[in-house]
Amino acid sequence: MLKNITILTLMSATLFAYSQPSHVELNIYKNAAFMTKIFDIQGKTDISLSLPAQSQLENIKIKSKTCLANNIRLSKPKIVTNKEIKELKNEILHLNTLLQNAIEKNNILSTISLKNKKIDEMEAILNFFDKQFLENSQEISKLKEEITDANKKLKNLQNRQIKNFKEFNASFTCKGTLKITYPQYDFSLNNFYEFWADSSKNRLTIIKKIKILQKSGFDFEHLDIYAHSNSYNQKIAPRPFYPRYLRQTKARMSDKSVAYDAQNQLTKVASYRENFSTSSFVLKNVNLKNSNEKIFTLEKKILNITFSNDIDGYGSTLAYLKTKFQSDKVYQRAISYIYLDSNEVGKRVVPFIKKGDFKSIYFGENQNIKVKKRLEKRFSKNEFFGNTQITTTVWQYKITNISKITQKINLIERLPVSQNEDIKVKPLFDAKNAKMQKNGKVIWSFNLTPNKTKIVKFGYEIKKPKEQK
């Protein structure tokens, strides 16, 4: 049931006399990767492995309940000479020789003189010349193409070849399973999502994917990959406790700095716990070629969503299509590609989403909602008595739905918020139809039927002393 792994490298011929792993696992984190090779040992067995050049004996973990290890050793870095590269270089040299011979033939033909030749002899010579010159020219063109293709293959092989490695050798005596684990360098793991919104079914498909790139110099086959969402060697214990003493001298800057740092650390710890970062996805029987990127789909979730449109009156004054859904699981912060009805909208970083959270994702501008914002009035006046200035500003919004379906609209505006008791802000709109928040956010929510227009007025009056700006 377990499959053999083939490492496509050119190692010494004696390597294949050693025991080969029956199973190979790769644990890959955001910042590290570890290879585990599993052997079925029956009696005395020699094992030889090609490990990354950065490997150290103390980082190689050997696990077995019954096996005894003898004569464990790790060589100095060795440079690998790829036999296939040698053969290809020889082939290119041979092709260049043939090319030079063909070019030389044409050069010789071009020097043939027709002086003192009879007409029939000249005709025969010219016919021979034309035929040979054409054949040589075709051969030259063919050889040039072959040389170009061979050079491309050579460059690809040189990019993929193992430049150096260390050879691990050990002898084991037992009957049972033996695991050898070591760091595997030059691996990278990137998580990303695809959000596919279907407006006809009010559904959102969330696809989690990972991209793995390895430049170890090895080609791997039949790997079982454990893709972890967390980083390796995260902080696993709280920071040391130190008492906080209050002093009158130089205390404030130091205390503020410590408090700020502690807050950052608490945030990181909370994020770690909420992320369930010890979880992983398992990919069975995977092939990873050196210097090749590979993308894997880990899971697909389909959720029910509601559509609405947010108009940022305080900003660009455009209608942005928004979906709202309740998360059924934890989603990590990651780059996400956004699609609406099979059309790619763009990409953005979607923040961390907790299980059970109601989350909104934007899908770009809804061009079926037309918004016109017009300044109706803006003027300032001074009160006749007192030292007070009054500024009045009023806008009108004209919102039209040109689509064939009813659209939910959220018009969002910003009311100035006074943090000074001498400055008074008075809303100049119907507050009954709007939701007002303490931070000055004002929201009008309504449904707009096809080909209908809604007029909304928004304004405010600011009263402040003349010297206030």
> Bridge-partner residues for 359, per DSSP?
325
Residue-wise DSSP of 365-433 = E-TTEEEEEEEEEEEEEE-SSSSEEEEEEEEEEEEEE-SSS-EEEEEEEE-----STT-EEEE-S-GGG
Output the CA angle 445-448-452, nearest 5 degrees.
140
CA-CA distance, 273 to 13, in Å (whole number)?
49
pLDDT tens-digit map of 139-152: 888 888 889 888 88
What is the bridge-based pairing of β-strands 388-401 and 369-382?
antiparallel
pLDDT tens-digit map of 337-356: 999 998 999 999 999 898 89
Per-residue pLDDT, averaged over 67-90, amounts to 81
**Cβ atoms of 211 and 10 closer than 8 Å:** no
Residue-wise DSSP of 444-458 = EEEEE-TT-EEEEEE
Output the pLDDT for position 349: 92
Tell me, rounded to whole angstroms, the distance of Cα 437 from its chain centroid.
37
Tell whether pTM > 0.75: no
CA-CA distance, 166 to 56, in Å (whole number)?
9
Q: What mean pLDDT is reported for the chain?
A: 81
- The 3-state DSSP class for residue 13 equals helix
Is pLDDT larger for residue 105 or for residue 127? 105
Greatest mean pLDDT among 107-116, 224-233, 285-294, 383-392 lies in 285-294
CA-CA distance, 47 to 312, in Å (whole number)?
66
